[in-house]
């Protein structure tokens, strides 16, 4: 980890479910660092522990061992709502009884953009423009396409300016065409917002398109963390090469 103090620092993280002989280790001694402003993809097959690690970072899942810190501050025992992290899941979890503006504005109270109705409206307008939905403020959620709904969910996640955005398979509920259309846009939005992000996915293309670096997770452990170019050219093991579908070079 190199003593990194800026951004996210996860050390020796273990997440275990159950007790005794029936215990299952989902995350097994993971070290991970994400620098401020970096987008890192956590890539791995279903059941490898990547969502368990994301939930532990968010505070939704207790660590059996290890620690989570931000800018050197230990957050291991800090509750989710006090970590200053944002969350975006695959179903978006939008509120059907609120219009688009109401969904994006949710969570702004208590932030610098919650001081007044005018300030909130300005922030909502800016976030919708960022995700390519300018003018959609009064649209009902039920009238949106799947891709539009996920853009609204992204705008809502970014609106409070979280210090870390955690995205758990955010495009997996969409069809292939929509995923391919949105993944590049999502990467652009994250960089335009200057957001530090952890993007969990099982899809190689998504990970390589969105992220500055990719952490390959296999069977609860990080097998390799590198840029997409390095992963393609120099997978660290036969297991990584096999998962990525690239040749293992001597």
CATH of the domain at 164: 3.40.50.300
E-assigned strand segments in the chain: 8-17, 24-34, 39-43, 65-70, 73-74, 85-89, 164-168, 197-201, 213-218, 221-226
173 inside domain: yes
Please say whether the beta carbons of 145 and 177 come within 8 A: no
24 inside domain: no
> What pLDDT was estimated at residue 3?
45
232 inside domain: yes
28 inside domain: no
pLDDT digits (tens, 9 = 90+) for 142-179: 999 988 999 999 999 999 999 999 999 988 888 888 88
167 inside domain: yes
> What pLDDT was estimated at residue 91?
75
The torsion region of residue 28 among left (phi > 0), alpha (psi -120 to 50) and beta comes to beta
Would you tell me how many other CB atoms lie within 10 Å of the CB of residue 24? Answer: 11
Mean pLDDT of the 233-245 span: 95
Q: By residue range, what is the domain housing residue 42?
A: 36-53+91-244
201 inside domain: yes
pTM score, whole prediction = 0.92
203 inside domain: yes
234 inside domain: yes
Average pLDDT of the chain, as a whole number: 92
The structural domain count of the chain equals 1
């Amino acid at each position: 980890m190199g003593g990194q103090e800026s951004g996210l620092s996860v050390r020796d993280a273990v997440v275990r479910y159950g007790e005794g002989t029936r215990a299952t280790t989902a995350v097994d001694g993971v070290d991970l660092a994400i620098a401020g402003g970096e987008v890192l993809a956590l890539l791995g097959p279903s059941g490898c522990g990547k969502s368990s690690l994301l939930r532990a970072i968010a505070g939704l899942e207790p660590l059996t061992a290890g620690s989570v810190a931000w800018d050197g501050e230990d957050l291991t025992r800090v509750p989710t709502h006090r970590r200053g992290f944002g969350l975006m899941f695959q179903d978006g979890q939008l509120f059907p009884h609120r219009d688009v503006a109401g969904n994006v504005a949710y969570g702004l109270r208590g932030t610098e953009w919650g001081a007044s109705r005018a300030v909130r409206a300005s922030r909502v307008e800016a976030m919708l423009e960022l995700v390519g939905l300018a003018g959609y403020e009064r649209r009902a959620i039920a009238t949106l396409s799947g891709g539009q709904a996920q853009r609204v969910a992204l705008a809502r996640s970014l609106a409070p300016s979280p210090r870390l955005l955690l995205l758990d398979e955010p495009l997996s509920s969409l069809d292939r065409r929509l995923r391919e259309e949105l993944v590049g846009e999502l990467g652009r939005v994250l960089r335009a917002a200057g957001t530090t992000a952890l993007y969990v996915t099982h899809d190689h293309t998504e990970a390589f398109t969105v992220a500055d670096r990719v952490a390959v997770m296999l069977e609860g452990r990080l097998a390799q963390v590198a840029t997409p170019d390095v992963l393609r050219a120099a997978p660290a093991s036969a297991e990584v090469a096999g998962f990525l579908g690239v040749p293992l070079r001597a």
